[in-house]
Structure 1
Amino acid sequence: MSLRATARIVAAPDGSLPVLESDGPLALRRTRAPGPYTRVTVVGAMSAPLGGDRLLLEAEVRDGARLLVDSAAATVALPGVDSAPATYDLRLTVGEGAELRWLPEQLVSAEGSELRMRTTVELAEGARLVLREEQILGRHGERPGTLATRLTVRRAGRPLLDQELGYGPGAPGGWDGPAVLGGHRATGQLLVVDPAFLAEGGERGEPVESRLLGEHAVLVPLAGPAALVTAVAPDALALRRALDEGLELLAPK
């Protein structure tokens, strides 16, 4: 039987969490944080998402607050009794002078699963964002499930990034070809939005320049105070190394 679950996080500038609501498989725990961040770890309370599940996780970072969200383990999309696709929506809001670091573990698309994942981010003009997405297409020795993802980011009400990706047997043809994954089974991206990219002079005031990171990753500037690292890799470890390199360049701790 499929389930519906909604979990919510609200972070305040004094380091408190006025709202920390878990639901179903989305168990939220406040954990010890590095540096100035309030930290919340998502702990999987049960297997999810399964076919037909409807999951929603909302996070609001109020003006001046600093929030780090990670997860205790990878999220594994699995087939279920319900033949309908599962959905997993993330709705993130970051206020003026606030910062969100969204750094979960990988999403694994298991054979036979079908998941539609949508991430929507609303940023104030002076907000900062570090967002990592990693998809592993199939567990060891198995084919991937069907995975469709969409990431939409708006800054000060204006579009900053809107992209949609599809993988697996239900995706349009060519997703595994040389122009897309080239046979790799791990893919991901790192998005960093920081008003400091627009500053003149200073250590982080220089414009972000395009560059290769290893053999299968690239860092590119976006039209705004933002940069995107996109990578493919043979496995999860190699993918994380590439994205960590980009993280150290763009948003060191």
Structure 2
Amino acid sequence: MNFALMPQDQAYLPTPTLQRARGIARIGTQQRDGRTCLKTLFQEGCCKIRMPKTHSSALEAVFINTAGGITGGDHLQWGASVAPQGRLVVTTQACERSYRSTGDTAHVHTRLRVGAGAHLDWLPQETILFEASKLDRQLDIHLEEDATLTAIEAVLLGRDAMGEQALSAEISDNWRIRRNGRLVHAEATRIRGGIDERQSLSLLAGNRAFASVVHIAHNADAAEALLRRVRARDGEGMIGASTTGERLVVRAMAQTGLALRRLLVPTLVELTGAGALPRLWHL
């Protein structure tokens, strides 16, 4: 027997619930015989952490999103805590991908804490924004006395090999870095898919790849010394770099992700605590 569905009955149809990724992962370190070792590890959902063997006294952690990317409605939380005098390098297994959203926004929140005299290299690989993607990202970092930091976030608008422009992609990126509770760096990046954002000389100027690098040194003199070294490596003046107190900020833009990485790698090598990038960064 067949039944016809009347219009008034449509209100009683269940609203489909789309599957969304949820994940939490965080890592903590301790010092043992002059080396930085694992102390705590928590992982849940799609967020995983792996620690490859290295020949350095620093501990290297690889953050992995097993969902294969993020899309509207996903929620990911990452965390890391470095013990006093410790050395931690955090990177990602591959470029993160922000896929097309059906309306909701994907949220990624990262909290990092660096103990006294410790150093953290926050070196995630690039985030690729696909057409109609929506991403809200927050980075909160707390430094204790004499702690230092090198942090990067890089964004690619579409895939180079596919010739994509991702004109409708949206991203909101907020940084807050504090030392002993004192705010030392804050920035907010917004892209809402407008053509003016892409073409304006004061914004992207037609580029499809951009990155921000922040280094917090021990003091203003150390930051100035690093600035001179960064500028010496950038012989063609393709990146922008400046210092304010203990803070060194580097900005870079390029037409492609490969061109951007070639600009950034010499600078990152100069600023990292280990003087080298994780193996996963090598093409």
Q: State the TM-score, normalizing by the size of structure 2.
A: 0.79
Deviation (angstroms), 1:142? 2.3
Deviation (angstroms), 1:30? 0.9
- Asked if 1:62 corresponds to 2:83, the answer is yes
Q: Which residue type is aligned with residue 133 of structure 2?
A: S
Contact preservation (8 Å) 2:226, 2:271: no
CA separation in 2, counterparts of 1:8 and 1:172? 38
Out of 149, 164, 175, the position equivalent to 1:151 is 175
CA separation in 1, counterparts of 2:224 and 2:134? 43
The aligned counterpart of 2:30 is: 12
Out of 80, 94, 114, the position equivalent to 1:73 is 94
Give the aligned CA root-mean-square deviation in angstroms.
2.3
CA separation in 1, counterparts of 2:135 and 2:79? 18
Deviations 1:162-208 (A, max 9, x none): 01011242x69535411111000000021111215536xxxx88474
Out of 105, 113, 125, the position equivalent to 1:105 is 125
The aligned counterpart of 2:68 is: 47
Give the 3 Å change call, closer, same or farther, for CA 126–80 of structure 1 in structure 2. same
The aligned counterpart of 1:187 is: 210
Alignment partner of 2:171: what SS? Answer: strand
Deviation (angstroms), 1:60? 0.8
The aligned counterpart of 1:136 is: 156
CA separation in 2, counterparts of 1:168 and 1:56? 23
CA separation in 2, counterparts of 1:23 and 1:110? 26
- Larger Rg computed on CA atoms: 2
Deviation (angstroms), 1:48? 2.8
Q: Which residue type is aligned with residue 129 of structure 2?
A: S
CA separation in 2, counterparts of 1:183 and 1:207? 30
CA separation in 1, counterparts of 2:101 and 2:149? 34
Deviations 1:18-54 (A, max 9, x none): 2222222221101123522101112231223111011
Out of 79, 86, 94, the position equivalent to 2:106 is 86
The aligned counterpart of 1:217 is: 239
Q: Which runs of structure 2 are paired with 1:20-39 in the superposition (5 Å)? A: 20-39=41-60
Give the 3 Å change call, closer, same or farther, for CA 161–26 of structure 1 in structure 2. same
Out of 263, 268, 282, the position equivalent to 1:242 is 263
Q: Which runs of 5+ in 1 are unaligned?
A: none
Q: Which residue type is aligned with residue 259 of structure 2?
A: A
Alignment partner of 2:267: what SS? Answer: helix
Contact preservation (8 Å) 2:21, 2:46: no
CA separation in 2, counterparts of 1:130 and 1:40? 15
The aligned counterpart of 1:116 is: 136
CA separation in 2, counterparts of 1:158 and 1:80? 37
Q: Which residue type is aligned with residue 160 of structure 1?
A: V
Contact preservation (8 Å) 1:44, 1:73: no
Q: Which residue type is aligned with residue 123 of structure 2?
A: L
CA separation in 1, counterparts of 2:248 and 2:224? 13
CA separation in 2, counterparts of 1:187 and 1:3? 27
CA separation in 2, counterparts of 1:67 and 1:125? 17
